[in-house]
Amino acid sequence: MDMKQKLQELHEEAVRKIQASEGLERLNEVRVAYLGKKGELTALLKGMKDVSAEERPVVGQLVNETRNKIEGILEETKKKLEAAALEAQLQEEVIDVTLPAKKAQIGHRHPNTIALEELERIFIGMGYEVVEGPEVEYADYNFTKLNIPEGHPARDEQDTFFINSSILLRSQTSPVQARTMEKGKLPIRMIAPGRVFRSDEVDATHSPSFHQVEGLVIDKKITLADLKGTLEEFARELFGPETKTKFRPHHFPFTEPSAEMDVSCFKCGGVGCRFCKGSGWIEILGCGMVHPHVLEMCGIDPKRYTGFAFGIGLERIALLKYEIDDMRLLYENDVRFLKQF
């Protein structure tokens, strides 16, 4: 049998064995058996010495070709087997994706803070600066400079906590208006969030301590129309683009004209439900044009400047928006409550 035929047979045999290999290990054994140092092809090569000198290059080339062919098939088969092995492994690794998640224990913000950050975001976007003022405040700022003179019923002890006759716990965030105006830097666009105090016994809808967000804009040519436009924008941003607003005349000593703003009930869309007590509207805030006396007392010329102010009850927004039915929950700090926000 000549070399050529031997190679041919070897090749066929190798291909058969390669194709019959199950798994990468078996394939490797086949590779070693044919192509390894002690493999059959190598053994065959040893027979080259018997080949005549002139035939050698031809046979040599034939040997190399055979080797290449076998290597090609080996490689091809290896890839197939690897793919099959991976497939098998992936099959093996199937998990139950419905098993419980492993969560990092992340804490939760207070609903008041969530509402506040929402408000701050909206007004900062409209060019407002966030300002703070003292919680223990002079009666002068809480009342007198807001057009609530001595003897005015709003100064009544039954609503306000007093430290002494001239220092009290602020009953509104409006004193920050006076403080900001007095600084004399115009124009003003600010909001002042903060804690306020009223002498109300604790129950589901009252708390002796709660939060307000005061807003103030002072500039030349500020109008009631600007107030309406700004607060409408705010309401749509906070409660959704479909929100409608209604301004009703009202009275606050430090604004004139004054108004209260209602928004269309975000629960029923304004048709009337238990939430809005059937009216379709929910009272959200008080507002108005800064009273000329207040401007004067704070050193601003009411003939040159006008402005508007508004005050929002933060808890009211939080309770409404998150459908919390008892104000006491906000100060109990039960984690089962806090975790829901």
Partner 1 sequence: MNTSLSWIRQYVPDLDVTPQEYADAMTLSGTKVENFVRLDADLQDIVIGQIEKIERHPDADKLVICQVNVGKERVQIVTGAPNVEEGQKVPVVLDGGRVAGGHDGKMTPGGIPIKKGKLRGVESCGMMCSIEELGSSRDMYPEAPELGIYIFPEDAVIGESAVHALGLDDVIFEYEITSNRVDCYSVIGIAREAAATFQKEFHPPVVTKTGNAEDAADYVKVTVKDERLCPRYCARVVKNVKIGPSPKWMQRCLAANGIRPINNLVDITNYVMEEYGQPMHAYDLATIQGQEIIVRCADKGEKFVTLDGQERMMDDTVLMICDSEKPIGIAGIMGGENSMITDQVQTVLFEAACFDGTNIRLSSKKVGLRTDASGKFEKGLDPNNAVAAIDRACQLMEELGAGEVVGGIVDICSQTKEPARVPFEPERINALLGTEISQEEMLDYLAGVELSYDEATNEIIVPTFRQDVACTADVAEEVARFYGYDKIPTTLPTGEATTGKLPFKLRIEQVARDIAEYCGFSQGMVYSFESPKVFDKLLLPADDPCRRAITIANPLGEDFSIMRTTSVNGMLVSLATNYNRRNKNVRLYELGNIYLAKELPLTELPDERMKFTLGMYGEGDFYTLKGVCEEFFEKIGMKEKPQYRPDGGYPFLHPGRQADIYYKKKKLGYLGEVHPLVAQSYGIGEKAYLAVLDIPTLLPLASFDHKYTGIAKYPATMRDISMVVPKEVSAGQIEAMLTQRGGKLLESYQLFDIYEGSQIQKGFKSMAYSIVFRAKDRTLEDKEVNAAMKKILNGLESLNIRLRA
**Span near partner 1 by CB under 8 A; candidates 14-22, 28-36, 39-47, 324-332:** 324-332
Of residues 69-128, which lie at the interface with partner 1 (CB under 8 A)? Answer: 104-110, 112-113, 117, 120, 123-128
- CB 228 to partner 1: min, Å: 5
Local structure of 197: helix, strand or coil = strand
- CB 321 to partner 1: min, Å: 17
CA distance 50 to 67: 20
- CB 89 to partner 1: min, Å: 35
Local structure of 161: helix, strand or coil = coil
Rule CB under 8 A: is residue 135 a binding residue for partner 1?
A: yes
- CB 340 to partner 1: min, Å: 10
Of residues 176-195, which lie at the interface with partner 1 (CB under 8 A)? Answer: 187, 189, 195
- CB 267 to partner 1: min, Å: 19
At 93, the amino acid letter reads E
- CB 96 to partner 1: min, Å: 26
β pairing state of 129-130 and 188-197? parallel
Query: Which of 40, 55, 161, 321 touches partner 1 by CB under 8 A?
Result: 161
Contact 248, 259 (CB under 8 A): yes
Rule CB under 8 A: is residue 153 a binding residue for partner 1?
A: yes
Residues making up the chain, counted from first to last: 341
Query: How many residues of this chain interact with partner 1, rule: CB under 8 A?
Result: 84
- CB 315 to partner 1: min, Å: 10
Q: Which two tokens stand for residue 173?
A: 């965030």
Query: Which of 89, 100, 151, 274 touches partner 1 by CB under 8 A?
Result: 151
Sign of CA dihedral 151, 156, 161, 163: positive
Rule CB under 8 A: is residue 226 a binding residue for partner 1?
A: yes
Q: Which residue has the tokens 């436009």?
A: 229
Contact 11, 66 (CB under 8 A): yes
Query: Which of 53, 90, 99, 225 touches partner 1 by CB under 8 A?
Result: 225
Rule CB under 8 A: is residue 212 a binding residue for partner 1?
A: no
Nearest to partner 1 of 62, 138 (CB atom): 138
Nearest to partner 1 of 34, 247 (CB atom): 247
Report the candidate in 306, 302, 311 with the shortest Cα–Cα distance to residue 289. Answer: 306
What are the Cα distances from residue 163, in Å, to 137, 138, 168, 212?
10, 10, 5, 21
CA distance 58 to 307: 104
DSSP H/E element including 90: helix 56-92
Rule CB under 8 A: is residue 45 a binding residue for partner 1?
A: no
At 42, the amino acid letter reads T
Of residues 260-279, which lie at the interface with partner 1 (CB under 8 A)? Answer: none
